Amino acid sequence: MSIERTDEKQTLKGVVEDIVYYNSENCYAVCYVQTETEYAAVVGYLPYICEGDSITVTGSWTRHAEYGEQFKAEFYEKNMPKQKEDILKYLSSGIIKGIRRATAEKIVDCFGENALDVIANSPEELSSIKGISRDKAIMIGESYAKQIGVRDTVIFLQKYGLPPSLAVKVYKHYGAAATDVIKQNPYLLSREVYGIGFKTADKIAMSMGFEPNSQLRIQAAAEYVLWDGALSGHTFLPRHELAERTCRLIGVEGEECETAISSMLFSNNLIAERLDETDAVYQPSLHYAEVQTALRLCKIARVNFIQSDIDIDKIMSETQSCLGITLAENQREAVLASLKNGALVITGGPGTGKTTIIRAIIDVMERLGKSVALTAPTGRAAKRMSEMCGMEAKTIHRLLEVNFSEDEYKMSFARNEDNPLECDVVIVDEMSMVDIMLMYSLLKAVKTGTRLIMVGDSDQLPSVGAGNVLRDIITSDRVYVVRLTEIFRQAKESMIVVNAHRINRGEYPTANRRESDFFFMRRESGQEITESIVDLCKNRLPTVYGYDPIVQIQVLTPTRKGPTGVIALNERLQKALNPPAKSKREKIYRGVTFREGDKVMQIKNNYATEWERTDGETGSGVFNGDVGYIEKIDPSEETVTIVFDDKKAVYDFSGLEEIDLAYAVTVHKSQGSEFDAVVIPMYPAAPMLMNRNLLYTAVTRAKKLVVVVGRESVLQSMVNNVSEHKRYSGLQSRLRDYV
């Protein structure tokens, strides 16, 4: 008689008879288990499972549309086989290095039911068997010890709610000492193991009986608060603010928190420095990156190039003739400045000719025999730069030849001070998106004597990562800056460009003119706004302009929550633009339904994700803000195939942690991208979000059409609100001091 099928948690015990599928990367398995009463299909994360294993799994019964009834394991435990036939099957599986079927038979024939005890406790005895040397016997013992170590780590951590996939990562990091390390200090998990955060480590520690006010807990919380601050753009936090946030997070007294911070400063786990009357506290890596960025940029900027041996006027004339352009005064100034200065910033809003200047600089440099490298922070920005300039532009990561550690998910670059970029000029576009860590990595690879030209719009939102790099460089007054203010004739014909500059000056945009590309639709309630946006994306814009609602239209909203936030709009737009159908497979993850055909966005940098281009080129790395669509969902292998422009990547279901629906995205997530049509809801939200800077950035993401839908009063308040989210950054101060 088989076990009763219910949705409640149940336990299944048996022997693994057949493994249909096993993913060695995340340990997801599909296998068949023979219990006392039935032959059951078991699926789940089952680290180092092999045929012959005696296992106990806890989970629930599910029904797969294609494969029928399955037992979905949430926790599992390996029970080492005791019968000779089970031991033989286990050893024959190949899971232990050095043992195959023939060797397994010899070991079982010799030691019988004691075979595993011998391998575990006195493996040298195996050398008494013909064909097994002493070295091979020791190797077999070490391989078996690893299997036991993984098993024990998984079982240990499952007691505290950590899934097997993460438990394997813990074992890979710490090896056989994993459980001992965790027992001494579980907070090391959040610091050293990718995918485990402070809250998870804290839950484990509390379950183990650690005191709520232990110094280990307070120090881990302070580190978490600093990294959380970095996610909000801060390279440091003032000491008093760090202490206050830490106290609020874990509910400890201020004095205890101050003691923990002082201890961390003494041991150099944190760095403190007095900056502009502020007691700044840094994570060491961010402190080092900021200091080195300032030093290296100053060194590059100090170089002045004397061009006495060339006829500048003649070259400029030839360039303008070749490109069919006439440079305005400040455009000409920018090109000349690129010849004279080691470092240069060119900043201006839409329609001010930044791309024209880049093209002119490239042409002039090439006429002088200089090699030029073009780069931008994101794939989309690099692709647009390539199209505009007629030569290859790479992402900064690709330019620097990014590498990563697959286990640690840490990136490194092949290009650095020991292997610098082999070019005379580096031009970086969309500089407002470059954070302090990426800037440091770039500067490490730019040797002194190479011109560094940084192009961007300083009025856009700053980078997603920590730092305020472009603005800090400009306001430091230590790098030559050309500010572009003139809007050129062709750009003046676009109300998108005109209104972007009006917003930037604090003036209300002009909308709904005949033959315009900027429209405002007055709607009051959140429901009315949402219904109008859905209608625009599904019907009106595709019908009137021929826009593809998935590829060419993008809804940009200030918030994630609320009636017109990302979550609500994505739910409505998905239903309208990609409704469920029998032909479309789905996967529900984190409460979100992902469906074949869905428009999605990568929300975290992942340097390990492998991709393949349509031309067969392969590589790795998918980055925060990359937009694509779901081509295929494979339930049997638990994978999702996503196409990003011309790159195709395959994710495990667990990788959906890094994916979000993208029919609507926040304005912050749209940085560095351009869309044919942009639709922007106007509905009340937190004042810190609803400011001029954000509205300006949203409008400038559009190439051909902007439609704003909602309350006019909210639009006007955004234009009037010049307050921005303050970022703690020391780069400006350092640049001033170092020069």
pLDDT band at 578 (very low <50, low <70, confident <90, very high): very high
Most confident of 28-32, 274-278, 532-536: 532-536
Amino acid 78: pLDDT:
79
Most confident of 163-177, 664-678, 694-708: 694-708
Across the chain, what does the average pLDDT equal? 89
Any idea what DSSP says for residue 4?
P
Amino acid 160: pLDDT:
82
Written as one string, the DSSP assignment of 490-514 is HHHT-HHHHHHHHHHTT-PPP---T
Helices (H) and strands (E) in the chain, counts: 27, 30
Amino acid 618: pLDDT:
87
- Over residues 65-85, the mean pLDDT reads 82
Q: How far apart are CA 544 and CA 536, in angstroms?
A: 10
Structure tokens at 546: 């021929």
**Residue whose entry in the numeric block shows the structure tokens 């500059």:** 501
User: 308-343, pLDDT tens digit by residue?
Assistant: 678 888 999 999 999 999 999 999 999 999 999 999
pLDDT at 1 over 50: no
pLDDT at 351 over 90: no
CA dihedral 225, 688, 290, 472 (to 10 degrees): -170
Q: Is the distance from CB of 527 to CB of 563 less than 8 angstroms?
A: yes
Name the nearest CA neighbour of 495 among 479, 480, 481, 508: 508
User: 434-460, pLDDT tens digit by residue?
Assistant: 999 999 999 999 999 999 999 999 888
Amino acid 447: pLDDT:
94
What is this structure's pTM? 0.80
User: 581-639, pLDDT tens digit by residue?
Assistant: 999 999 988 889 999 999 999 987 777 788 998 888 888 778 778 899 999 999 877 88
Amino acid 491: pLDDT:
59
Crossing angle for the helix pair 354-367 and 379-389, to the nearest 10 degrees: 60
pLDDT at 51 over 60: yes
Alpha-carbon distance values, 72 to 7, 62, 75, 380 (Å): 11, 7, 9, 40
- Over residues 10-24, the mean pLDDT reads 87
More confident call, 94 vs 250: 250
Identity of the amino acid at 375: T
Q: How far apart are CA 83 and CA 112, in angstroms?
A: 9
- Over residues 665-680, the mean pLDDT reads 91
Structure tokens at 384: 């647009």
What is the layout of strands, in order, in the sheet containing 675-682?
518-522, 702-710, 675-682, 553-557, 664-666
E strand or H helix that includes residue 544? helix 541-545
Radius of gyration of the chain (CA): 30
Name the nearest CA neighbour of 570 among 544, 550, 587: 550
Any idea what DSSP says for residue 203?
H
Name the nearest CA neighbour of 409 among 620, 660, 234: 620
Alpha-carbon distance values, 134 to 45, 124, 710 (Å): 35, 6, 78
Task: Please name the residues in contact with 152: beta carbons below 8 A apart, sequence gap of 6 or more.
Answer: 179
pLDDT at 3 over 60: no
Amino acid 472: pLDDT:
96
More confident call, 307 vs 45: 45
Q: How far apart are CA 170 and CA 179, in angstroms?
A: 9
CA torsion sign for 684, 687, 689, 693 is positive
Amino acid 7: pLDDT:
60
Identity of the amino acid at 717: S
Q: Is the distance from CB of 574 to CB of 540 less than 8 angstroms?
A: no
Question: What is the SS3 assignment for 86?
Answer: helix
Question: What is the SS3 assignment for 178?
Answer: helix
Q: How far apart are CA 702 and CA 26, in angstroms?
A: 40
Structure tokens at 154: 């998984």
User: 188-237, pLDDT tens digit by residue?
Assistant: 998 888 778 899 999 999 988 999 999 999 999 999 999 999 988 999 99
